[in-house]
A and B are shown apart, each in its own frame.
Chain A
Amino acid sequence: MSETILEVRHLSKSFGEHEVLKDIDFTVRTGDVTSIIGASGSGKSTLLRCINLLETPTSGQILFHGQEVTGKGVNPSRYRSKVGMVFQSFNLFNNMTVLDNCMVGQVKVLKKSREEARENAMKYLDQVGMTPYIKAKPRQISGGQKQRVAIARALAMEPEVLLFDEPTSALDPEMVGEVLSVMRDLARNGMTMLVVTHEMAFARDVSSHVVFMSDGVICEQGDPQQVFSNPQQQRTRDFLSRFMEH
């Protein structure tokens, strides 16, 4: 059995009166591809943002290699550099070229030399098929291409886990394919991934673990085969039937 890399314990998050996450518990092991599915507003993205500390959890613990990340003495920036994140709206740095986007973190955070960073960035840009565009600015490339660069930027930091926050939701249908194929390759190569997605086919076929969320709680989780073909909960059945219609 592989090592537990990320553990979420009794995590809760409230925005004012509104409780978005209630007592979330789950673990991610090395090499897992976990898909988090559920209706909009069920707290999927908030969960992911809490794991990356972009939101501060109201209560509960997040353990990275058994160490609490919200605790004193843990530098959030260092933790974040080991947990990559890919956003729905790409969030590429608009003032930099594609190549610089993938280099800046390595140079500033990991303190690598520019040559080393460049070589590493090119390796991952090649992996996502974006080497032709290294001199382009984000505003000059398409959404699918931006997302592939964003994935390369996250990979260039050589993270231990990669979080995806609805990576294809802002894309035209024809661009979804190019991003999903990159993600499929990553999964095949053993990358540990946590993916919030509405792409049910991806969740069913690629992931090793599926988490279904509803109203801020984990309603059901397990093997994708089991969750998709034999859901135990009524809410899961309702959600999946709505999705599988088309």
Chain B
Amino acid sequence: MDKFIELGQDMAALWMQYWDRYLVGIRSTLILAVVATLIGCVIGLLCGILNTIPYTKNDSLPKRFVLRLIRVIVRIYVEVFRGTPMVLQAVFIYYGLPYFTNQQIMFRGNSGLWLAAIIVVSINTGAYMAESVRGGIISIDPGQTEGAKAIGMTHVQTMTSVILPQAFRNILPQIGNNFIINIKDTSVMFIIGFIEFFGQHRNIVGNNNMYFQSAAIEMIGYLTMTLIASFLLRRLEKWLDGNSSYELVQDDALTLSAGTYTHPGKGTPFDERNLEKTLDAEQRERQRQELKHGRSRGER
């Protein structure tokens, strides 16, 4: 117990002294995570769409060749960036690009660091998202595509109006997953000298050796960020799902006559509360009858 009190006191002291640096770190982490997740989603979306353009044997040879080539390139991109650690990717891009281009492309200064960090995390996220998007697209019922084709939509129109909005809703949890992973994993950007939340921790403990106490602050900081992120994502999902009820503009004569529709006076099948009320009323009436006569009417 004493240990915890001591830890708490040390953490408070650390926070009092360095709170501005921790907050700057948090800000960098969040900006990097948000921007890179967004760009990563765009990359993933593009790859996912390119990967699912259909072709048949009847298509011309060049078209088939180009589509096959695109699939191979996307596949290589996904496998390479999904299959290697982001720390090493950062090193390869930050130091490798200047090396291969004879210093033509260089990441100079603070803005260079930001650029390199955003590129690395975006490309990495994109590789994961490409697979999620592909999964999201192929999970949509083929009937949706056929319905769109049958009214004369082109592939692009089908994708943008029908398939992607539905696929997007399905992969939203995956996007959230990637965002939360990015909040945490941007910490490996210290390897190229990018100072975010974890980078600040490394700088601070370099001064005072309070390694564990500062790490505890980091833990709390990261957990707070990810909890808020997942809360907001849930809200977004709920908002996208929209209202589960809808207004009836007037009565539907055809279903009324077909007997699938209870008369509005009795409550519609879509109006659960109304239905419950009528049920309740019926039950109460039956109970009253039973109390009066001891048995239900049918058995008398």
Q: Are A177 and B258 in contact (CB under 8 A)?
A: yes
A12 interface hit (Cβ, 8 Å): no
Tell me if A89 is interfacial: C-beta within 8 Å of chain B.
yes
Binding-face segment, A1-9, A23-31, A35-43, A77-85: A77-85
A225 at the interface (CB under 8 A from B): no
The yes or no answer to B20 lying at the interface (CB within 8 A) is no
- B147 interfacial contact with A, CB 8 Å: yes
* A91 vs chain B, min Cβ distance (A): 3
Chain B residues near A154: list those with CB within 8 A.
150-151
- Also in contact, A133 and B153, with CB within 8 A (given A93-B148, A95-B165, A178-B258): no
B165 cross-chain contacts in A, Cβ below 8 A: 95
B146 touches A54 (CB 8 A): yes
> Does B207 lie at the interface of the complex (its beta carbon under 8 Å from any beta carbon of A)?
no
Q: What separation, in Å, do the CA atoms of A59 and B157 have in the docked complex?
A: 29
User: How far is the CB of A107 from the nearest CB of chain B, in Å?
Assistant: 9
Residue B56 at the A interface, CB < 8 A?
A: yes
| Residues in chain B near residue A134, CB distance under 8 A | 249
Interface check B177, CB cutoff 8 A:
no
Query: Chain B residues with Cβ under 8 A from A82's Cβ?
Result: 152
The residues in A between 123 and 142 inclusive whose CB is less than 8 angstroms from any CB of B are 128-137, 140, 142
Determine the distance from Cα of A134 to Cα of B250 in the docked complex, in whole angstroms: 10
Does A104 sit at the interface, judged by CB under 8 A? yes
Residues in B with CB closer than 8 Å to A104 are: 151, 161-162
Give the chain A neighbours of B150 by CB distance below 8 A.
Answer: 52, 54, 80, 84-85, 87, 91, 154
**With A80-B149, A153-B151 in contact, do A109 and B56 touch (Cβ < 8 Å)?**
no
**Chain A residues positioned under 8 Å from B4 (CB to CB):** none
CB of B270 within 8 A of CB of A108, answer no
The 0/1 profile, CB within 8 Å of B marked 1, for residues 110-133 of chain A is 000000000000000000111111
In the bound complex, CA of A181 to CA of B253 (Å):
12
Say whether B255 contacts A81, CB under 8 Å: no
The answer to whether B254 and A81 touch across the interface, beta carbons within 8 angstroms, is no
A14 CB within 8 Å of chain B: no
Q: What is the CA–CA distance of A175 and B260 in the complex, to the nearest angstrom? A: 8
- The distance in angstroms between the C-alpha atoms of A150 and B148, with both chains bound, is 11
Residue of A85, A87, A105 with most partner-chain B CB within 10 A: A105
Judged by a CB distance under 8 angstroms, whether B28 is at the interface is no
Min C-beta distance of A120 to chain B, whole Å? 13
Binary CB contact string for chain A from 47 to 84 against chain B (1 if under 8 A, 0 otherwise): 00000101010000000000000000000011111101
Residues of B within 8 A of A128 (CB): 254
B136 to chain A, nearest CB (A): 13
A157 within 8 A of B: yes
Contacts of A52 in B (CB 8 A): 150
Which chain B residue shows the least CB distance to A181?
B254
Q: Is the CB of A81 within 8 A of B152?
A: yes
Encode contact with A along B246-262: 1 for CB under 8 Å, 0 otherwise. 11111111110111100
Cβ of A98 to closest chain B Cβ, rounded Å: 9
Interface membership of B263, Cβ < 8 A: no
Q: Which of A77, A84, A92, A144 contacts B258 (CB 8 A)?
A: A144
Ordered nearest first, which 10 A-B pairs have the shortest CB separation?
Answer: A81-B152, A91-B147, A105-B151, A129-B254, A85-B150, A91-B143, A109-B152, A178-B258, A80-B152, A95-B165
Can you list 11 contacts pairing A with B, beta carbon distance less than 8 Å?
A54-B150, A77-B152, A80-B151, A87-B146, A90-B143, A91-B150, A104-B162, A109-B151, A132-B248, A157-B151, A178-B257
Q: Interface on A for B, CB 8 Å cutoff? A: 52, 54, 56, 77-82, 84-85, 87, 89-95, 97, 104-105, 108-109, 128-137, 140, 142, 144-145, 148, 150, 153-154, 157, 174-175, 177-178, 181-182
